[in-house]
Amino acid sequence: MINIDVNTKLCAVIGHPVRHSLSPAIHNAGFQSLGLNYVYLAFDITDVESCLRGMRAMDNFRGISVTIPHKEAVIPFLDEIDPVAQKIGSVNTITHEGDKLVGTITDGIGTLNAFHRAGVDLNNKKILFLGAGGAVRAVAFTFAEKVQPQQITILGRTPTRLERLMNDLKKVYPHIKFQQGYLHENFEPYISSHEIIIQGTPAGMAGHSNEKLNFSYNLLTPQHTVLDMIYRPLYTELLQKAESKGCKIITGIEMLLEQAVLQFELWTGCSAPLDIMRKTVEKVLK
């Protein structure tokens, strides 16, 4: 049980909407497990500037998780942004450090850590992204920055978004081999030629039954590692089929947890109790 007092540190997620966010359950479980005088809330806001002005005014407001649609909108109101977040052009984590608000992004490093924890080395691998949205952008930039992939291929649905992402990546990382394509075309050859598959579209998500991935699951082999960013349901059709074909699979919850761990440790200075946080979120999702 959290005892709220004048010394309690406040952390929160901001977005619009945020009612389905799992972050309060994850972080509060971690705080309580370690006996920390912290609390994590969810705020549905539309006025980012006023929110961050309020954060500055409260010394005990320690950190913010930023979700849709504010990941880009918060940037003008921050004092510092880490280099990778600057390149990506979005922030999902704000830390109150003294009189400064410092922005970073933990999505990409969290995903990289999920692969490491699963025992998967991404160096010299061909990495295939299905989708070209904000989460894929964050992960693709981070992988280009932190590992030495043989190739990064991104298959998009929206031409303007895909072109912007590919142009930005090629400009910043000219030494990396990039390839692009479209999900409405035949992309089965990409499945066969890439060892790492990262699914970042709504296909398979609860409530999106009309969206399907247009390839044969028979192309999946034990040489593949498949990560699906979706965590509702926890085991998507893609992950179930991939597992049945002998692939190593990584659920969207692992990506969510690993990025939350990085936030937790930034805000508290303590090692996050990952197992407790995982059990909590799995219980919520059952």
The catalytic residues are 71
Identify the sign of the CA torsion 259, 263, 268, 269. positive
Residue with tokens 């440790």, as numbered in its chain: 265
Residue 189: is the preceding peptide bond cis (ω within 30°)?
no
Give the span between the Cα atoms of 113 and 107, in whole angstroms: 10
Do 157 and 131 meet the contact criterion of CB atoms below 8 Å apart? yes
Q: DSSP secondary structure string, 241-275?
A: HHHHTT-EEE-HHHHHHHHHHHHHHHHHSS---HH
